[in-house]
Amino acid sequence: MARLIGCRAISSISLDRFDPMTMRGMMPEAALSSGKPMPRVGMGTASFPLGATDPSTVKDVVLRAIEAGYRHFDTAAVYQTEAILGDAVAEAVRAGLVASRDELYITSKLWVAHAHPGHVLPSLRRALRKMQMEYLDLYLIHFPVSMRLAEDPESMTYSKDDLVMMDMEGVWKEMEECQRLGLTKAIGVSNFSCKKLETLLSFATISPAANQVEVHPYCRQNKLREFCKEKGIQLCAYSPLGGKGTPWSNNAVMDCPLLKQIAMERGKTIAQVCLRWVYEQGDCVIVKSFNKSRLRENLGIFDWELTNDDRHKISTLPEWRGTLDIFVHKTGPYKTVDEFWDGEITGDK
């Protein structure tokens, strides 16, 4: 269940004179089954090609985001931004932007090459060392698949020829141990279908707190959202603008005539319309921009609503999924897109 801390409308706050303490008091949060509540809007740190962005640029944008009021940050081993995020958080504390790391919500993810029993805990410990932190707020299994172990645990090399079936029960039991040890306050998954969540829940002693998946007006995830609500799992949206700049993206979302029309009628940007739509579904949402004004613009979604007509029109858009066949291969455990997504390619199936 989402909650809103404070009562002053965000429309009364000048984005040019944004007070991060005011924003922190206004940021809606979602209560999870484990750990502290998750701020409903978080900032992602992935950029493509992975690891190609200048570390100083990433660090600077994280600091700018903290200044703007962001308190939720998302990284992953494969993004190669864990150490950069940790440096930015440490500097933010030194500069007094936040009193301590505890004021922030930090998520990272287990890469497929480390998704093996006996390798989950070492992977999390490596992430914590890089981030100079004692714990994460949320640790996710990045994808429901594994890859053959590399000799170098720091290697992020990816080859479809090396894909193997994940020992989901063995990996999840070690994820649970990470939480019991206090190295992460909550555990969850990413890119899991209803069917894969059902399998996981059949043996889990600690249920996943969240499932991070692609969500935007063309990938609405209605079936998965209802399933997660029923099971007490918070849905968290990535690529809310269609994943522009990623290998799987196209410009359909940002070029959509309907979304442009709604944005014009509401006096908002297309990005704000998309983010507001995701927010109204009850999802948390991960946004990403290295542009200072857009960082602040992305927070301007709380003091207005889409109309019922807007929502109905968005519901008629044709559905597609961008992250479709990344882990599908003729020699791998999932040989077709339907096998990987369990037939849940569109959100209503």
Determine contact, residues 344/321, Cβ cutoff 8 Å.
no
- pLDDT at site 348: 58
Q: Is 334 a catalytic residue?
A: no
pLDDT band, residue 9 (cuts 50/70/90): very low
Q: For 113-144, what is each residue's pLDDT tens digit?
A: 999 999 999 999 999 999 999 999 999 999 99
pLDDT band, residue 347 (cuts 50/70/90): low
Q: For 172-224, what is each residue's pLDDT tens digit?
A: 999 999 999 999 999 999 999 999 999 999 999 999 999 999 999 999 999 99
- pLDDT at site 264: 98
pLDDT band, residue 4 (cuts 50/70/90): very low
- pLDDT at site 20: 41
The predicted model scores a pTM of: 0.92
Mean pLDDT across the stretch 20-46? 84
Give the pair of three-digit tokens for residue 4. 């809103």
Q: Could you tell me whether strands 29-30 and 2-3 are parallel, antiparallel, or unpaired per DSSP bridges?
A: antiparallel
Res 61 pLDDT > 90: yes
Instruction: Please report how many Cα atoms fall inside a 13 Å half-sphere around the Cα of residue 337, on the Cβ side.
Output: 10
Separation between Cα atoms, residue 273 and residue 292, nearest integer Å: 19
Determine contact, residues 105/43, Cβ cutoff 8 Å.
no
Q: Letter for the amino acid at 300?
A: G
Q: What is the mean pLDDT of the chain?
A: 90
Catalytic residue among 70, 79, 139, 279: 79
Give the pair of three-digit tokens for residue 201. 């829940």
Q: For 84-119, what is each residue's pLDDT tens digit?
A: 999 999 999 999 999 999 999 999 999 999 999 999
Q: For 227-255, what is each residue's pLDDT tens digit?
A: 999 999 999 999 999 987 777 667 899 99
pLDDT band, residue 26 (cuts 50/70/90): confident
CA distances 245 to 36, 158, 250, 254, 318, Å, are 32, 19, 8, 12, 21
Q: Is 242 exposed, middle or buried (0-12, 13-18, 19+ CB in 10 A)?
A: buried
- pLDDT at site 24: 47
The percentage of residues in the chain with a pLDDT greater than 90, rounded to a whole number, is 80
Q: Letter for the amino acid at 182?
A: G
Write down the residue that tokens 């990987």 correspond to. 340
Closest of 234, 206, 259 to residue 72, by C-alpha = 234
Give the pair of three-digit tokens for residue 218. 């063309």
Query: What is the length of the chain?
Result: 349
Residue 95: alpha-carbon gap to chain centroid: 27
Res 8 pLDDT > 70: no
Write down the residue that tokens 């009364």 correspond to. 12
Kindly report the number of other CB atoms within 10 A of residue 282's CB atom: 15
The angle at the Cα of 246, spanning 245 to 252, to the nearest 5 degrees, equals 70
Q: For 266-295, what is each residue's pLDDT tens digit?
A: 999 999 999 999 999 999 999 999 888 999
Q: What is the 3-state secondary structure (H, E, C) of 36-95?
A: CCEECEEEECCCCCCCCCCHHHHHHHHHHHHHHCCCEEECCHHHCCHHHHHHHHHHHHHC
- 80 sits in the region (left: phi over 0; alpha: psi -120 to 50; else beta) called left
Tell me if the bond preceding 49 is cis, omega within 30° of 0.
yes
- pLDDT at site 25: 52
pLDDT band, residue 12 (cuts 50/70/90): very low
- pLDDT at site 245: 72
Q: Letter for the amino acid at 339?
A: E
- pLDDT at site 10: 31
